[in-house]
Structure 1
C-alpha cells in the first residue's frame, strides 16, 4: 500500500536514501513558474548531505535546460544537478549516427539538440537515414493522424525519440509530447530507440547509482514510476501532476494497478 507523506513530509524518509532522482516538469516547476516548496525540499536534501539529480525528459542538451531554469529564477547550485534525455540522446548520436542524414520531427526550437551536426538535417523525409523525434510540429500539435500518414512509407527507418513522455501540462494546458509520436510509429511496426525515463540508460548516465539506496520522485506513472520499478528503486508520486484527476477520482492504489506499477509513497506536492 502506498504511504501518504503529506503530513510527515520528505524529511521523514530522507535518511533512508543516498540518491534522489527528481523530475523537473510537474514536480519542481509547471513550465511557467517554480514550485516554492519543491525548491525548499531540494535545498534541504543538500543540507542532509544527500545526492540528487534533476532528471528530465527534455529533448534538449543539459546546458539549454539549465538556461531555461535560470530564466525561471532557479539558482546555479540547483541547476547544476540537471540531466536531460536530450543529453543522453546526444551522447548516443555522437557515437553512432552523426554522419547520417536525418529528418527532424518536432518544433524548430529544439534545434539546439542537433546544432553540432545540423548540416546532416534534411527537409525531405525520403532522403533521411533515420528520424529524430523531439516533439510535434508546431502546426500539427494535436493531430496524430498526420504523423501516421507521414511515416507510412518510411517504416524501414529507425526513430530516435528524445522524450518518452506522452503528455505534459504547461500551466493549465495539456500538450502532447514526443512519446506520443513515437508510439504512433511503434504501433505501425517501426523501431524506436528511446532516451529518457523509464529507460535505464538515462539514470545510469546521470550519476553513479551502483550500490546506492535510491528514491525516484515524479508525477508520471508511465515514466518516473515505471523507471523506478524497472531499476528496483523506491518511488514517490506527486499527485498534483499529470494523473491528478485519475488519482483524485479513484485513489493511487487503484490507479497504480491500472498502470501496472508499484508506488511506495505519495505527496500532493514535493514538500520537505
Structure 2
C-alpha cells in the first residue's frame, strides 16, 4: 500500500542516496521549485548523496549548464546522470551503425559532437539523410512544440521496411515545459515500434542508466537507494525493476488524476489510479518538498 507523505524528511533517514528526476520534480523546464531544492539540500546536509537522474537526451554537462541557468544551486546535488550519457555509450559502440539519421533539435547536437574520452578512438558517427542511414538516433521531434509522432508515419514506415533500428536517447513520452506539454523521443520510439520497427532504450526505466549512476556514486553494496519521480512508466517502473523504494510525485505529469489540490493528492483516488497503471510506489507526495 502506497503511503502518502508530506515531505521527504519524513522518510529520508532510511536512505543513503536519492535518484531524483528533474522535469516535474525539481523544475518545470523553466524554473526550479524552491521547496524541492530545499528538500534535496536538507538530504545532503544529513549525509545523503543526490544523483539527479534525467532522461534528457544530452550529455550531463549540458544538463548541468541548464540547471545553472535556471538557478538550481550546486549544493542541491552531487552528480547528474542523463539518458544521453548512457545512450551515447551505445551509439559510439555502434548500436545502430555509424551512419545515422538524427531526429532532434539543435540543443541536442552535443550528443554527437561532445565525445567522451572513453570513445575518442572510436570510429566516427556521421549524421546523414534518412535514405543513406544505417540506423536512427531519436532525441526528440524536430519541432517539439508542434509535431506529433503521426507526422513521422511515412518516413518511419520506409525506415521500418528497410530494417533500420532506432536508438531512443530519451524514453520519456511527454514532459511539461511550463504549461505546455511536449512529445519526447520515447513517443517517437513507441510509434516506430507500433509500425514494426526496433527501438533501443538506455534511460529510465532501463538498467543502463542506473548501473552508470551507482558506479559513479561509489557507494557500497548495502547502500539504500530511493528514487523520486513523476513518471509512473519511467521513474517508478525503473525503481521497481531495480528493487528500490520510490516516491511518486503526483503533482507532475499525472496531476489531474488526484483531485484539485496539486499539493495534496486525494487519498481515495490514488490507489485506483496506481492499480490501473500496475505500479505500487512505496510513497507518494504532491510535490517534492
How would you bin the TM-score normalised by the shorter chain?
A: over 0.9
CA distance in 2, matches of 1:187, 1:260: 21
For residue 252 of structure 1, what is the aligned residue in structure 2?
270
Equivalent residue, structure 1, for 2:229:
218
Name 2:88's counterpart in structure 1: 90
Residue 204 (1) aligns with residue 215 (2): no
Deviations 1:156-206 (A, max 9, x none): 011000110101111111111111000011111111111211101101101
- Of residues 68, 71, 83 in structure 2, which corresponds to 1:70? 68
The Cα shift of 1:54 comes to: 0.3
CA distance in 2, matches of 1:94, 1:211: 33
Q: For 2:81 and 2:164, how far apart are their aligned partners in 1? A: 28
Q: Aligned to 1:11, what secondary structure does the other structure show?
A: helix
Alpha-carbon distance, 1:110 to partner: 1.1
- Measure how far apart 1:92 and its partner are: 1.7
The 10-residue stretch of structure 1 (43-52 or 137-146) with the greater mean CA deviation from structure 2? 137-146
**Structure 1 pair 79–213 and aligned structure 2 pair: CA distance change class (3 A):** closer
| Unmatched 5+ stretches in structure 2 | 116-123, 260-265
CA RMSD of aligned residues (A): 1.9
Deviation per CA, 1:219-271: give whole Å up to 9, x if none. Answer: 11010001011111111011110000123287221111111111111111111
How big is the shift at 1:140? 7.9
Distance 2:58 2:146 in 1: 18
Which of the numbers 35, 38, 47 marks the counterpart of 1:37?
A: 35
Residue equivalent to 1:3:
3
Q: How many residues end up aligned between the 2 structures?
A: 268
How far is the alpha carbon of 1:95 from its aligned partner? 2.5
The whole-number CA distance in structure 2 between the counterparts of 1:35 and 1:179 is: 25
SS in structure 2 at match of 1:30: coil
1:108 is matched with which residue? 106
**TM-score, normalised relative to structure 2:** 0.87
Corresponding position of 1:142: 147
Structure 1 residue runs of 4 or more that deviate by more than 4 Å after TM superposition: 116-119
Equivalence for 1:177: 184
Would the alpha carbon gap of residues 14 and 179 (structure 1) be closer, same or farther in structure 2, given more than 3 Å must change? Answer: same
Partner SS, residue 107 of structure 2: helix
Q: Is residue 99–residue 120 contact of structure 1 (8 Å, CA) maintained in 2?
A: no
1:53 and 1:207 in contact (8 A); partners too: no
| SS of corresponding position for 1:207 | helix
Pick which of 259-268 and 77-86 moved more: 77-86
1:211 CA drift (Å): 3.1
For the residue of structure 2 that corresponds to 1:266, the secondary structure is strand
Unaligned 5+ runs, structure 1: none
Partner of 1:49: 47
SS at match of 2:47: coil
Question: Which residue in the other structure is 1:188 paired with?
Answer: 195
Q: Could you tell me whether the CA contact under 8 Å between 1:26 and 1:242 is conserved in 2? A: yes
- More displaced 10-residue stretch of structure 1: 177-186 or 86-95: 86-95
Q: Distance in 2 between matches of 1:94 and 1:143?
A: 28
